[in-house]
A and B are shown apart, each in its own frame.
Chain A
Amino acid sequence: MENQTKRYWKGLEELRNDETFVKNASSEFGNLEKPESTPNNSIVDGLGDLGDRRDFLKVLGFGMAAVSLAACDAPVKNSLPYVNKPTDTFPTIADWYASTYSEGGDYASIMVKTREGRPIKIEGNNQSSINKGGTSARAQASLLGLYDVEKLKGPKKGEADADWDAVDKEIVAQLAAVAARGGAISIVSSTIISPSTKAVIADFTAKYPTTKHITYDANSVWGLIKANADSFGKAVVPSYDFSKAEVIVGLSCDFLATWVSSAESVRQYAQTRKLSSAKGGKRTMSRHYQFETVMSMTGSNADYRVAVKPSQEGAVAVALYNKLTGGRAASLGEQADKMLTKAAADLKAANGASLVVSGSNDPNVQTIVNAINATLGAYGKTINLNAPVYYRQGNDMAMNAFIDEAKAGKVGAVLFYEANPVYDHPRGAELKEALTKTALSISFADRADETASLCKYITPAPHFLECWGDAEPKAGHYSLIQPTISPIYKTRQAQSSLLKWAGASSDYYAYVRNFWKSNMGTGNFEQFWVKCLHDGVYEPAAGISESGASYLGNTAGAISAIGAAKSSALEVVLYEKVGMGTGAMANNPWLQEFPEPITKACWDNYASMSQKTAKDNDLSQGDVIKVEVGGKSVEVPVLIQPGQANETIALAIGYGREKAGKSGNGVGVNVYPMASLKSGYLSFNAGTGTMAKTGEKRDIAQTQTHETVMGRKAVVQEGRLANYKKNTMEGRFLPKIHTSEGLKSPGDITLWNGYQKPNHSWGMVIDLNSCNGCGACVVSCQAENNVQVVGRQEVVNRREMHWIRIDRYYSTDVDDKVEEMGLIDGPRALEIASENPDVVFQPLMCQHCTNAPCETVCPVLATTHSSEGLNQMAYNRCIGTRYCANNCPFKVRRFNWFKYFDNDNFDYHFNNDLGKMVINPDVTVRSRGVIEKCSMCVQRIQEGKLTAKKDRRRPVDGEIITACAQSCPTEAIAFGDMNDPESRISQLLAEEKEGRAFTMLEEINVKPVVSYLVKIRNKDVEKKATEAHAAEAHGGH
């Protein structure tokens, strides 16, 4: 890499101040934001800088702490200027690097924003055809893991600190000894989607031939892989294309959040839900049926949702199959039967443009699902076996066998890579026992977690933002991981360690590069490599052809294996939460405080159950119960979850960590041991259980406690597709006010003079149809705007600080008939959610009201209106009367009740120097006693305007984008300048003006600049609903 000659010449040119030199000096990554304008030759020229940049990272390794930390502290103690400023870096100007986030089946090609050498924000990479610029909440939050002060600072031998050379020597000696006596060496990992890492493992295996690589997943889909092997002879997870599906049936499958390829599915699904009120606009949307036990995020988006017990999971698939093929279907209850018949009819009508997916890990159920999809002709249309996805490759059987071997003392050495089976495998306790019998155990974990702490050696791997690497999430779709900061601690990538122990060069960067050179390189490799690094992705197979597949599965065998649904009294089911996932990132306070999309609970897991089950057992929210299943028991508080199947208890995995760190330890309980292994397949259907009241109470930290919208149409408006096709104003609520001159719109009567917005007029449009509630925006906003984490008790106290929240409302049984129920009984009935409610999500941030009630009441003018339509907050001026927060009709203002940074009562990374490196230097960290709220990322607006001004042009639409809009995987949030008629937001508003666009609380005439698009459900229109709608259209007040 070191190209001394080139550097020498560079010096000469520099001396001459050559024009081309000056031009190219900063061109390698400085132009990442607009790659299309990158001329090809500059890539070659940029090559010389690559070495410099690596040097720069090294330099930063020394200077970083002093420089960056001093920048966070006031007063500044040690501010060290660059002696020689790196060519590519300018203080206050962000550098962007393409990289890849991949954890627990969650994948995103990302762009990392660094400031003064610190990564401070993750955004989706628009170049990736998989996530297309979107990110998940977890991908956003993964950034904070880099600055986790509780990570290991160097290798460990047992409890003691060690140094790398000694550790390497000992390990190599012991590995050689194990290999020499023919002892088994096992590498246990979670799914590895990196092809070069697999090559490293192969090299390691070549050196130590007794090595076996065991892959397992905490939330496994091995049953699906197995079923595909049986049905099609391909042991893969196919790629699904939800965007082509007109009818989608989900069987206990959370495909929008926690299933195999949610990063891709979420966007495809949203495409089928988008509508346009423009002339000739799209008026069709997919219809989604969901049969599931727990109210999942996916189920909450379904048009029709039926609650079924976990034991019925297979029977539902069989019944659907029978209904499609004309067989006799066993009854599963009136509601389920009705919906299955309806779903079957719709599936048939869709003529192959359909998709049936199941989240089950039972190969028999998956075989039936394959049979259904094959019957419907979905293969080749919505399912592509030729382009498998690799997010989850875990082999439950192999893992089981490994544990058996370890127990028998047959494992000579074990290496844990991105795996923590003692915690997240049902047989973790057995493994814990067995590890003592293993001569050599090594973990690459970044901390002494449940597994690593039992190992003889911990050779910590750095955070992925400090790493080189690659990934292949889907056949023919590659992406690169490049470091954005040099290693903070004395850590070494697992790949380097493996290479070193295998006696090869430990330079993994060179390894990846060579791997790409020999496997993917085309033409001029240097050019190719730099382009891939720049783009982050390389997708030679983006347009891989789809073809049908002939189904060879044993359907009858699967049906008989599933048998009749054996429903038992009380069934316990485990599930994965959208934010916490499998618990690997449990020490991430952003994720811990992330409100689960459905329950809006954070900092805990709990026993969720339906209203009826709670009532039958005389339980109310917060009662601590003891749940016992298969001899294992946990004590958890009750959370009442409308829409859950009766007589079931659902418990979330990913909690109850013991050695994750301060934020994760002791949060909730670990329910992995309750998972069962049914004929070798990991099953989250834990089986029949019992529960008993303990008499204790525990508050669940929820950011929203009121479940329904109380029939308030000015808050959320929704309609039905059939009506919308006839009338684009479907579901709109148009309040009128009686005046002496007749009925008037609230906006026509005003005391306000209005504001001139001569330059820009920023605004947002949020499509309630696209928003699925995933909450990526919440964490994105948190990272962008230095939003504080306040901890469990403070969330219980209803003081979370999130600037954007996603309100979730359940429908009630009385939504249509509340008028007749009277003033007292009506509202009471409206407070109670239906047994199986429709759900609506509404992202809510500061609405930047044009007639802002907060602005008039502030005694000191700390909150004022900008000439660009923003409601802005001057923290320094705020004296904290909270009058604005009280007078905010949307309740989006947040008060700093305590000093949240540098305060050990709030030990969430903002109280130590490393943790504070995540702070976005463009955004003030708010002091105690001031109000804060969404600023519409004013720092980004300013930056975009300045960039445009430097170029002597107007900002281009899309150039300035808020964090929430940027991270939204479904493009539900459109941000832009409403003064620019060409902008997406202006066009959307123009299209939807006589359509779905509404602003909240129109009656009070605060004129928000945030508009919402009516939520349309693809449900049949019952006659009654039509009449009610007609009556409403004439009424109003």
Chain B
Amino acid sequence: MHITSPVRTPLVTGGKTYADVTEDICRHVEGKPTKEWKVAFTISLLVLLYGAACVAWTWWEGLGVWGLNKTVGWAWDITNFVWWVGIGHAGTLISAVLLLFRQKWRTSINRAAEAMTIFAVLCAASFIVMHMGRPWLAYWALPLPNTFGSLWVNFNSPLVWDVFAISTYFSVSCLFWFVGLVPDLATIRDRAKNKVSKYIYGALSLGWNGSAKAWARYEYISLILAGLSTPLVLSVHTIVSMDFATSVIPGWHTTIFPPYFVAGAIFSGFAMVQTLMLVTRVVYKLEDYITLEHIESMNKIITLTGSIVGVAYLTEFFIAWYSGVEYETYAFVNRATGPYWWAYWAMMTCNVISPQLFWSRSIRRSVKWTFFISIIVNIGMWFERFVIIVTSLHRDYIPSSWAMFSPTMFDIGDYIFSFGFFFTCFFLFSKYLPVINMAEVKAIVKSSSEKLPKKVSGVAKGERVSAPTFNKDAQ
């Protein structure tokens, strides 16, 4: 156990005890679904059904139901794919990178963030399959031994790298998430009153007995998985960015893409975590676990990554001009001033300007502002991918082929499908699994939640103390 300075703001407020933690979290799993939950779940289920109908028609009829054409071969499909993959970055970053950096504030949000990651990656994967002309042959993208002769996948293709990157990321994220769940599932199993719950949670908790050995192994595996996942945080979006960077299309063929995409992914991922956590926190009354400190910390990361993305945007423009490449220059002039200027400026406003508002402490600590900006950021990040994909493709080398893209109701419907799927999964998760990692929160309750000395209590409440007296006899 690391020593935590008592002057640090507490991560869990309200003087929660271990029992409080268990009770606060398990209550939602064990109780009957609330009315709000039922309403929200029904809505998302209906959205899912509508979206699924659209997807089914897309599969049945062919990709012609989308608005794509001979010039713009990808638009909403890959925009949505990259957007969801980006969103899926926050979970692993929070669980793995922050674990390695010993950022204890992660404990109250990592469970939900990881769940979000998994669902987002599933949504992204659905677009990989959906965008194929013959989705029933999607397995051909895997290097499976086959009877087709000596057919193999093309290891030069970034799409194959994608398959590996996404599937690895998905499996490691799942594993990490599930391992983290085991002690909590055991807690629920132990508290379960009916046989069905006992059986299901019992099976899922893999015979967890709370012994020192079990805990030790739990910590080893957490650390190992964190070590494994950390490079994945960087690699997944690096590889996704290579779908574009390795091409010859002006506006895609850009060496800056990997870091720029990773920053963008974290940016949008954190924004999505904010959106979801702010709602969960209120609905489940978890204000003591997800405090303003958490929100502020995440907003700081959003501002940082947002600024990185902004610098990347400007760098692209500079290089386009500096390179002297006719096509590259035109691609960027066209982005900002061409027929899709509105998408470009929507992206710039949402991604570059809006997170800068967080330099103001009061906005950064305002739940409403945070919620608002988190949504704006996600809109902006969607537009970023749209701008990169569509405005680069629609006017590339040969002017005779230049064309416009406009979405159809199936482009929109298939995107809606992913929302329906995502929220349906998220609501199921929030009802049937503990949304906060009880075991890990309990681990920090002692160090970060104990009643604090009066002299620094201002800090604890998150208020500014002009000259805090450091506690010399804490604990």
Contacts and interface: CB of A to CB of B under 8 A. Distances in A.
Nearest to A1004: B248
A175 to B, nearest CB: 54
A897 interface: yes
Nearest to A851: B248
Contact of A1006 (B158, B248, B337): B248
Contacts of A890: 397-398, 401
Nearest to A707: B399
Contact of A889 (B132, B134, B398): B398
B133 interface: yes
A897 B73 CA distance: 10
A879 B400 contact: no
Given A809-B399, A860-B153, A881-B131, A799 B333 contact: no
A891 B401 contact: yes
A735 B326 CA distance: 11
Contact of B396 (A797, A798, A891, A1037): A891
A886 interface: yes
Nearest to B77: A882
Chain B binding surface SS class: loop
B458 to A, nearest CB: 54
Interface string B322-360: 001111011001100100000000000000000000000
A342 to B, nearest CB: 32
Given A857-B247, A879-B132, A887-B247, A1001 B397 contact: yes
Interface in B129-144: 131-135, 137-138, 140-141
Nearest to B128: A881
Q: Taking chain A's interface residues, is the majority helix, strand, or loop, or is none over half, making it mixed? A: loop
A860 B247 contact: no
Contacts of B135: 879
A897 B62 contact: yes
B316 to A, nearest CB: 14
Interface in B58-72: 61-64, 67-71
Interface in A857-880: 857-861, 877-880
A890 B132 CA distance: 22
A705 interface: yes
Contact of B153 (A709, A715, A861, A930): A861
A749 interface: no
A859 B153 contact: yes
A886 B73 contact: yes
B272 interface: no
A526 B153 CA distance: 63
Interface residues of B, number: 55
A878 B133 contact: yes
A896 B63 CA distance: 8
Interface string B130-166: 0111110110110000000001111011111001000
B400 A807 contact: yes
Given A708-B399, A898-B62, A882 B73 contact: yes
B246 interface: yes
Contact of B140 (A799, A877, A1006): A877
Interface in A1003-1021: 1003-1004, 1006
B57 interface: no
Contacts of B393: 886
Given A857-B159, A880-B63, A1001-B397, A895 B133 contact: yes
A235 interface: no
A955 interface: no
B133 A929 contact: yes
A823 interface: yes
B284 interface: no
Contacts of A883: 73-74, 157, 159, 243
B283 interface: no
Given A809-B399, A928-B62, A1037-B324, A894 B70 contact: yes
B400 A805 contact: yes
Contacts of A521: none
A63 interface: no
B387 to A, nearest CB: 15
B248 A704 contact: no
Contact of B154 (A710, A809, A859, A889): A859
B133 A798 contact: no
A879 B247 contact: no
B152 to A, nearest CB: 7
A827 B154 contact: no
A712 B329 CA distance: 13
A983 to B, nearest CB: 28
Interface string B388-404: 00000101111111110
A195 to B, nearest CB: 45
B276 interface: no
A454 interface: no
8 contacts: A823-B329, A844-B400, A857-B156, A859-B153, A860-B151, A889-B397, A895-B133, A898-B62
Closest 10 CB pairs of A and B: A880-B133, A929-B133, A897-B64, A798-B69, A807-B400, A882-B73, A891-B401, A859-B159, A929-B134, A706-B402
Given A842-B400, A891-B398, 18 more contacts: A709-B399, A709-B400, A712-B397, A798-B69, A799-B69, A800-B70, A809-B400, A853-B247, A859-B159, A859-B163, A861-B152, A877-B140, A883-B157, A886-B247, A889-B248, A896-B133, A897-B63, A931-B133
Interface of A: 704-706, 708-710, 712, 714-715, 794, 797-800, 805, 807-809, 823-824, 827-828, 842, 844, 853, 856-861, 877-883, 885-887, 889-891, 893-899, 927-931, 1000-1001, 1003-1004, 1006, 1037
Interface of B: 61-64, 67-71, 73-74, 131-135, 137-138, 140-141, 151-154, 156-160, 163, 243, 246-249, 321, 324-327, 329-330, 333-334, 337, 393, 395-403
